[in-house]
Structure 1
Amino acid sequence: MALDAESEAIGTLLLERGALTVDQLVAAEDLAEGWNVSLVQVLLSRRWLTTQELYAQIATYHDLPLVDLTSEPANDDLVRCFDPAVMNRFATIPLKEEGGIVTVATSRPGPQSLLHIRDTYGPRSRIVVATHLQISAALQQAFRDRHSHDAVFALAEQDPDMSAQQVVTPPQVLLIYAVLSLFLLGLAFAPVATLIVLNVCLTVFYTGNFLFKGLLVWIGGAAQETSSRAIAAEAQLLRDEDLPAYTVLVPMFREPEVLPILAQALRNLNYPLAKLDIKIVLEEGDHDTIEAAEKLDLEGVFEIVRVPPSHPQTKPKACNYALRYAHGDLLVIYDAEDKPEPDQLRKVVAAFNQSSPDTACIQCRLNYYNARENWLTRMFTLDYSLWFDLMLPGLERMGVPIPLGGTSNHFRIDVLRDLNAWDPFNVTEDADLGIRLTQKGYRVGVIDSTTYEEANVSIPNWIRQRSRWIKGYMQTFLVHSRRPVHLWRSVGSAGVFGFVFFIGGTILSGLLNPIFWAIFGVWMVVGADAIEPYFPLPVLYLSLINLLAGNGLLIYLTMVAPFRRRWTDLAPWGITVVGYWVLMTVAAYKALWQLISNPFYWEKTQHGLSKHTAAELADAQMDGPGMADPDIAPAQAGGAGA
């Protein structure tokens, strides 16, 4: 695309005033043409001049005043008279009204903005220029209460059946009470028969659980080979100019130490930086991380979104708030310590292009860059390899609802907004959203692209993280089992079966394991006489199959999980997975207790504990600003403020 007259004129102004060198201007013009974006967007993605300098020349070209919204703030009452979504889309905001004339600030002056301003604010409007970051901050200030409320309660108010705000509904309470009463009555009047029935139910459930997981791995092992090659081939052929705008949400809390690693990882993406809308989502009171982000002096495509304090203080609430200010066609969530493969966004665009129109989300794989640091990181890596490399592709192939991972899920932003995005009352909001998308008639895809994270190196930290995940699975199961008929009609028989065994099985296996371990211990110590009355011969044989074949199969699956990545040195560690199951049992009982006592509490996982983090931080700081053209020196010091 040839440069427009505005870009050429602004480039000339910057060159004449010494804000850019000739080499920088030529490079920026080439990128603008190759990416099919304006020169301003390219310059915002570089640190060759400050945003204030850039917008000063934009204002000069259009013969408009440049205003500083920090010293001349907008009238919030006036701002709230207009639609925030429209103002965000057109990058405009009314500042004041005097004598029937509205002064309107815009960061994109031009014919389209002029028409919008005249239609929205009146033909006599006075137009001024302000930076895009200041306009966004002013909108957030004016609508902080409304958007904070919506971030917490929009789903609960508009679709209460899909919200975890009410942990257990009255019909569910009645059902639990009835089942418990029936069990106690059975123990009182027919204890042996009751325990036999209970043993039969649990044994059959265990059998079904491990058979289902084995089936998933068998199907998922070869499910993606053809599609992965096709997606990779199209991703390489995609032209920069055809790529859509992409919003990247990075919710963080008290993690200033990983900010340089995060920024460098996002710069390393093989995607036009000018087409990225990166939101670093921080709690308003997290002063240390906000200060650290501001000191990084990030490019203009980075924006700090400050989330007002409210309860529950959860990651999904923060993402819901930031979603109001997103500009992309697609959206992805990354955690602070994430390192996505450079071509991931391109692969996702290719996957959406090749998928059916009802595909609303693409889940990428997750794994760990510190896999071999200690026993726990090895087990965590085996766990994730089994989950993301084998089981999720199997779920996709079988048409079973896919519980999303907490990061690297890519959404069509229009669908996300229509569904009221994430549930802030669910502490595993990703898994819940994956099930909800399927119930609403959308499809979730899984592709072969990996985001690498930091595996927990500390057992207490791991238990805090895993107990939150299991508590969220409990919430998700309760929410989506409220209307069993609706669930069956929306996801089908296979979907219900998979939901029960994949979500319910994950919960129950952790809770029931110690009971069966205890029974096995009793049998080992005192012999079969103590348990024989409660285990008729068929049940005993099935239990023995579960003990030997079921656990043996799960150990085997854990050992073969890393083979797909050729991490064969990790396979022998799969033998020790029983110790990992013990930790999951501890986490499951902690999750159950918190579901009862504090259901919406978000247990923070501390990152940066790995010895690899220091090396990553040093590399990120050494790489510097990550400019696409390192041989082009800046015309002067300074960078685009965030």
Structure 2
Amino acid sequence: MSSGSLYRSGGSFEPADGAESLPEIAFLAAAGVDSSVLAYAARRARELGVGADEVLIAEGLVEEALYYSALARRLNCPYVERATSLAPGFDYRAALRASVARADPALEEFDWLMAPRGAQVRALLALGAQGGRRIAICAPKIFSALVRAKGRRALSDDASFALSRADSRLSANAPQLRWSNLFSVVLCLAVIAGLSALSPALLAVASPLLSILFLGGIYIRLCAFAASLKPQRGARPSLSERALPVYSIIVPMYREASVAAQLLAALKAIDYPAAKLDVKIVLEHDDLETAEALRAAAPPAYVEIVVAPPGAPRTKPRALNVALPLARGRLLAIFDAEDRPEPGQLRLAAAAFAAAGPRLACLQARLAIDNGHEGWLPYFFAIGYAALFDVLNPGLAALGLPMPLGGTSNHFRTDILRRVVGWDAWNVTEDADLGLRFARFGYLVGAIEATTYEDAPTELNNWMGQRSRWMKGWMQTLAVFLRTPRRHYREIGAVQTFAALCAMSSLLAGPLFGPLYGLRLAQDALSGELLAPQTFEQFTVASFSLVIALFGTLAFILPPLLGMKRRGMKANPHLLLAPVYFALLSLASWLALWEWTRKPFVWNKTAHLPRPQIPQAADAPQTGAAAKNLPASASAIKARVLSTP
């Protein structure tokens, strides 16, 4: 074969007789792969800055197993697709990073097991017979499964306990936190007794204490609201396809077979080069129904199904920790199984990270409820999301203050995420915990104007389980934060500590005590004590109450109103049920407090139903073969590597 370009500058395709310039696919021509397919892969590889083998496999033009079996034949070495004995002293993390594992010399006929990509393939082909030690070739997904099987115990242990081993004070699993549960219950009962006027002395203490908590939350909320009113910076320049980094996506699933096809459709709709996508769907070992549904829905080649090893606790953050060592991307995103992200979200996040400084660890996309019209519960849910993700979080990000992340559509710098030891497997709102931990280690969290659509629970039992889990997780997060307040003060400063403490405290104090506090305020107004206090205690209570009533109303109303405007939501008669909704929030909070003392690490699973379609941006650009005018002969078939003698 001659050494020349695989395509002309005008874009027309030539036969692949210049394939030596891309040795990672050159041998496929002799194996029978259509020359136009190789030419297309060569051009896309140069445009993206990746290996042509990665283009062929990711875009489904050549099956992974067939490519690597042909590569093994080209290298004249074994091709492995079975259980393999790896050497003692095995380090699963190092093997996954290098895509190389040492075989057990006593049990195998080769020294090294490899799953090379791109430059690694070229290096192997260049070595040829000079490679020295004997190797065996393995497809990356098979390699990943073999490595995870060999390192199952270590992987399971790290997923559950890596954070608590690194610093026990950072994990909700710390034994000392059990005492805080009992203390919290006693404190809450004392506050209730005070607000109920069972004791004048308790009332004189409880009312100002709650008022201070409320005022801190009100102040932070109003500051975030004001910051969100400022004009947003202009759109960042988009990155060229070559400059886009490899992007990992982790999707934890459990008993969600009904949305498997919808999830894969949403992933396929993402506007990002397939050769730079690395998707891990994490399943529990006994969730056979979801595994079967995913296989039936035909996941694209860049999707890997990862089965978490058995272990406790069975939580979403533990599943995320299982997949984190497998992630190849420089950036990493988390989506839930029912999510429907806007197609351009990854490109927008990549551009934002590229324009930001190295301290930016995470970007939170906006979450929006897509079924707010289906009942009064999802309607209020949609208002809450609009206030939080369209107003408050962008405002907190603009101020550089800590924010409790949402549970999905978080985009991370993978190296920083690993540096802070991933997620706390024992915290049932791992997102809120991680947002504060980033602040503790000096990192920033930002927000991007890209939306992920979700559905809110429509049934009360489902809604109550989800809300109580959130509240329980916020209690865990606050307890962890309060374990070392002086350390926080030294590490992140007074402003950040104050903001984090106020944000988390008000999230809990409002639902727990807000209804009773409001009733007490109404009683004092009717009795005359609010406007004409007779004693110093009454004057103290009245002063705090009036300030809370004025500014609390503003902080309570303004963010939802602005969020509704930004989301195009209209007021409807469901608003008359607001007192009922807030009473349910309070009930969920008290249920969470009870669960925290009895079963702190139990994950209340939220059931999801599939939606009829995925929101698409009207002007979303096409990617992949369709955009690059792949020849009809190549796009109409899956090229198969033919067996050779």
- CA contact under 8 A between 2:284 and 2:309: conserved in structure 1? yes
Deviations 1:59-90 (A, max 9, x none): 23333332322xxx1114x2x43432332123
The Cα shift of 1:515 comes to: 1.9
Residues 1:107 and 2:115 are matched in the alignment: yes
Deviations 1:357-416 (A, max 9, x none): 211112211112223222222211111111111111222233321211111111111111
For 2:469, the equivalent position in structure 1 comes to 468
For 1:131, the equivalent position in structure 2 comes to 139
1:421–1:184 Cα change, 3 Å = closer
1:346–1:2 Cα change, 3 Å = farther
For 2:101, the equivalent position in structure 1 comes to 93
1:123–1:34 Cα change, 3 Å = closer
Larger helix percent: 1
Helix, strand or coil at the partner of 2:373: coil
Q: Which amino acid aligns with 1:560?
A: L
1:112–1:23 Cα change, 3 Å = closer
- CA contact under 8 A between 1:555 and 1:574: conserved in structure 2? no
Residues 1:214 and 2:214 are matched in the alignment: no
Residues 1:322 and 2:313 are matched in the alignment: no
For 1:27, the equivalent position in structure 2 comes to 40
Alpha-carbon separation, structure 1, partners of 2:481 and 2:278: 33
1:295–1:185 Cα change, 3 Å = closer
Structure 2 unaligned blocks of 5 or more? 7-17, 617-622
Alpha-carbon separation, structure 2, partners of 1:583 and 1:472: 18
Alpha-carbon separation, structure 2, partners of 1:332 and 1:204: 37
- CA contact under 8 A between 2:382 and 2:456: conserved in structure 1? yes
* Aligned residue pairs, count: 611
For 1:205, the equivalent position in structure 2 comes to 213
My pick for the range that moved more, 532-541 or 477-486, is 532-541
Q: Which amino acid aligns with 2:74?
A: Y
RMSD in angstroms over aligned alpha carbons? 3.7
For 1:233, the equivalent position in structure 2 comes to 236
Alignment of 1:204-603 (within 5 A): 204-222=212-230, 225-226=232-233, 229=234, 232-235=235-238, 238-519=239-520, 527=527, 536-537=538-539, 539-540=541-542, 542-544=544-546, 546-547=548-549, 550-551=552-553, 553-565=555-567, 567-570=568-571, 576-603=577-604
Residues 1:37 and 2:50 are matched in the alignment: yes
% of aligned pairs identical?
Answer: 33
For 2:12, the equivalent position in structure 1 comes to none
Deviations 1:246-305 (A, max 9, x none): 111011101112122212222222211111110011111111111222223322211111
1:528–1:184 Cα change, 3 Å = closer
My pick for the range that moved more, 540-549 or 579-588, is 540-549
1:507–1:109 Cα change, 3 Å = closer
Q: Which amino acid aligns with 2:278?
A: D
1:412–1:183 Cα change, 3 Å = closer
Residues 1:165 and 2:168 are matched in the alignment: no
Alpha-carbon separation, structure 2, partners of 1:496 and 1:310: 35
The Cα shift of 1:583 comes to: 2.0
For 2:63, the equivalent position in structure 1 comes to 50
For 1:616, the equivalent position in structure 2 comes to 613
For 1:622, the equivalent position in structure 2 comes to none
- CA contact under 8 A between 1:74 and 1:94: conserved in structure 2? no
Q: Which amino acid aligns with 1:45?
A: A
Alpha-carbon separation, structure 2, partners of 1:276 and 1:14: 23
Alpha-carbon separation, structure 2, partners of 1:574 and 1:412: 40
Helix, strand or coil at the partner of 1:569: coil
Alpha-carbon separation, structure 2, partners of 1:466 and 1:185: 25
The Cα shift of 1:27 comes to: 3.1
Alpha-carbon separation, structure 2, partners of 1:25 and 1:548: 69
Alpha-carbon separation, structure 2, partners of 1:280 and 1:17: 33
Alpha-carbon separation, structure 2, partners of 1:533 and 1:13: 93
The Cα shift of 1:217 comes to: 0.7
- CA contact under 8 A between 1:245 and 1:328: conserved in structure 2? yes
The Cα shift of 1:171 comes to: 8.5
Alpha-carbon separation, structure 1, partners of 2:436 and 2:240: 34
Alpha-carbon separation, structure 1, partners of 2:329 and 2:165: 26
Q: Which amino acid aligns with 2:405?
A: L
Helix, strand or coil at the partner of 1:615: coil
Question: Which of 163, 180, 203 in structure 2 is aligned with 1:155?
Answer: 163
- CA contact under 8 A between 2:33 and 2:640: conserved in structure 1? no
Alpha-carbon separation, structure 2, partners of 1:8 and 1:127: 22
Relative to the length of structure 1, the TM-score reads 0.85
Deviations 1:487-514 (A, max 9, x none): 1122222222211221110001111023
The Cα shift of 1:517 comes to: 4.3
Residues 1:192 and 2:193 are matched in the alignment: no
The Cα shift of 1:628 comes to: 3.7
Residues 1:74 and 2:84 are matched in the alignment: yes
For 2:13, the equivalent position in structure 1 comes to none
Helix, strand or coil at the partner of 1:411: strand
The Cα shift of 1:587 comes to: 1.2
1:542–1:85 Cα change, 3 Å = closer
Alpha-carbon separation, structure 1, partners of 2:346 and 2:224: 27
1:453–1:178 Cα change, 3 Å = closer
- CA contact under 8 A between 1:333 and 1:409: conserved in structure 2? yes
Alpha-carbon separation, structure 1, partners of 2:229 and 2:353: 22
The Cα shift of 1:544 comes to: 4.5
- CA contact under 8 A between 1:556 and 1:574: conserved in structure 2? no
- CA contact under 8 A between 1:255 and 1:607: conserved in structure 2? yes
Relative to the length of structure 2, the TM-score reads 0.85
1:552–1:57 Cα change, 3 Å = same
Deviations 1:412-438 (A, max 9, x none): 111111211100011011110110111
1:372–1:185 Cα change, 3 Å = closer
The Cα shift of 1:518 comes to: 4.2
Q: Which amino acid aligns with 1:385?
A: A
- CA contact under 8 A between 1:162 and 1:479: conserved in structure 2? yes
- CA contact under 8 A between 1:220 and 1:397: conserved in structure 2? yes
My pick for the range that moved more, 341-350 or 102-111, is 102-111
Structure 1 residue ranges (4+ consecutive) displaced by more than 6 angstroms after TM superposition: 1-4, 113-119, 173-187, 529-535
Deviations 1:82-133 (A, max 9, x none): 43233212322344425996432322278857989999xx975222222111
Alpha-carbon separation, structure 1, partners of 2:69 and 2:411: 36
Alpha-carbon separation, structure 1, partners of 2:379 and 2:181: 40
The Cα shift of 1:584 comes to: 1.3
For 2:11, the equivalent position in structure 1 comes to none
The Cα shift of 1:26 comes to: 3.7
Alpha-carbon separation, structure 2, partners of 1:333 and 1:599: 24
Deviations 1:617-640 (A, max 9, x none): 899xxxxxx96439654335999x
Alpha-carbon separation, structure 2, partners of 1:633 and 1:110: 22
Alpha-carbon separation, structure 1, partners of 2:224 and 2:76: 64
For 2:10, the equivalent position in structure 1 comes to none
- CA contact under 8 A between 1:90 and 1:113: conserved in structure 2? no
